[in-house]
Amino acid sequence: MTNHFTVRQHSPFRYDIVGSFLRPESLKQARTQFQAGQINQDQLKSVEDQCIIDLLQQEEQVGLHAVTDGEFRRSWWHLDFFWGLNGVTKHSAPNGYQFHDETTRAETATLTGKINGQQHPFIQHFQFVQDHVHEQTQVKQTIPAPSQFWAELQRPENQAAVHQFYADTDSLLTDIAQAYQQVIQDLYDAGCRTLQLDDCTWGALADWQTHPEHVAYGIDPQNLADLKQTYLQLNNAAISQAPQDLVINTHICRGNYHSTWANSGGYDSVADPLFTDENVQAYYLEYDSERAGSFEPLQQVAPNKLVVLGLVTSKSGTLEDKATIIQRIHEASQYVDLDRLAVSPQCGFASTEEGNILTAEQQWQKIKLLKEIAQEVWTDEN
């Protein structure tokens, strides 16, 4: 008997992407020239514009229903957004983020005043993409989750500035939520109907509960339950005023930098409240390695929500076996109905401008594989 599935009208589609793409060489060169003072901001933007237009054409040609700008105007998946908020500035850090095999550049976001989200530069970035796609193509805007910003401000080097402008945690959390509400409304007014909150905080919590020795920033492992509630309440507050027809999804990751990772641990310890109470419509979940654990925690995903299985890795150019991925999708369907599932890479291909270690051709081959898988698994993709 033929299965009949709900036709998806918005992201997540049956095959989807997380957001970032490998930067073309011309863009890398232009950023290097800009940092060296050899070209100005307008000249850099001109290169960014053309590279984004080229990327959008490639995304549409490969059949993606929802596209992004590849995060080509960013150096980091998260910090550039924070730097665009009022009251926040780019700052050097004593140490970079520690990943399994290497350490990142040492940069952070610190406060220079009270936080607000007025006139964020990402609004213009979204409008540019919207102006350069076909009418039927949806534009997905990715931004870091509010909890990620709060976690960034917990770095020891940022604490003095936080205390200078905020006397207590509640007032800081309130301003973060309100700043996000402003940006979300401005994106909506510009035409955005699909927003994705990228979030490494839950992956870090899962790692800390599995490996208490990894706990950072002076966090007491005994207070991890309270931290879960802080993340949950902040994220929910930030999206609480969003228009009803704005689709808000989230991507949960364990770190993605130059093909290496930061955290390990399944979703078991964070499924409640992440899967039960975060007010998003879909979860893009990393599932490309044993570090992500089993599918069993998916049984806690609220019945009105969707799950995107990140079964294809963005960390390697090796192409996955189609039959194996299809088998894993059906394994996951034991916990979440097949009609509520989709498939994607486990993360972006370049969460930072360095990018992961694979070629552009390998990147596109993986997306083509995802399309083939979706067409075999879900009849509405045929």
Residue 352, domain extent = 25-381
Question: In 127-156, which positions are buried (b, 16+ CB within 10 angstroms) versus exposed (e)?
Answer: ebbeebbeeebbbbbbbbbbbbbbbbbebe
Q: Which helix (H) or strand (E) holds 132?
A: none
Q: Which of 95-109, 233-247, 331-345 has the lowest mean pLDDT?
A: 95-109
- The pLDDT tens digits of the residues spanning 362-376 come to 999 999 999 999 999
Q: What does pTM read for this prediction?
A: 0.96
Instruction: Give the pLDDT of residue 261.
Output: 78
Instruction: Give the pLDDT of residue 262.
Output: 85
Candidates 184, 191, 274, 291; CA nearest to 233 is 274
Number of structural domains found in the chain: 1
Instruction: Give the pLDDT of residue 221.
Output: 64
- The verdict on residue 8 lying in a domain is no
Instruction: Give the pLDDT of residue 215.
Output: 60
- The verdict on residue 6 lying in a domain is no
Helix (H, G, I), strand (E, B) or coil at 72: coil
Candidates 239, 132, 257; CA nearest to 200 is 257
For residue 135, what is the domain's CATH number?
3.20.20.210
Question: In 229-265, which positions are buried (b, 16+ CB within 10 angstroms) versus exposed (e)?
Answer: ebbbbbbbbbbeebeeebbbbbbbbbbbbbbebbbbb
- The verdict on residue 16 lying in a domain is no
The model's confidence at residue 310, banded by pLDDT at 50, 70 and 90, is: very high
Q: Is 61 exposed, middle or buried (0-12, 13-18, 19+ CB in 10 A)?
A: exposed
Contact criterion met (CB below 8 Å) for 139 and 133 = yes
DSSP state of 347: S
Instruction: Give the pLDDT of residue 211.
Output: 67
Instruction: Give the pLDDT of residue 2.
Output: 46
- The verdict on residue 1 lying in a domain is no
The model's confidence at residue 104, banded by pLDDT at 50, 70 and 90, is: very high
The residue with tokens 């409640």 is: 272
- The pLDDT tens digits of the residues spanning 131-163 come to 999 999 999 999 999 999 999 999 999 999 999
- The verdict on residue 190 lying in a domain is yes
- The verdict on residue 5 lying in a domain is no
216-239: average pLDDT: 84
186-196: average pLDDT: 98
Residues 118, 124, 129, 130, CA torsion sign: positive
- The verdict on residue 337 lying in a domain is yes
- The pLDDT tens digits of the residues spanning 34-51 come to 999 999 999 999 999 999
Residue 73 has a CB neighbour count (10 Å cut-off) of 20
Residue 45 has a CB neighbour count (10 Å cut-off) of 15
Q: Is 365 exposed, middle or buried (0-12, 13-18, 19+ CB in 10 A)?
A: middle
Instruction: Give the pLDDT of residue 207.
Output: 77
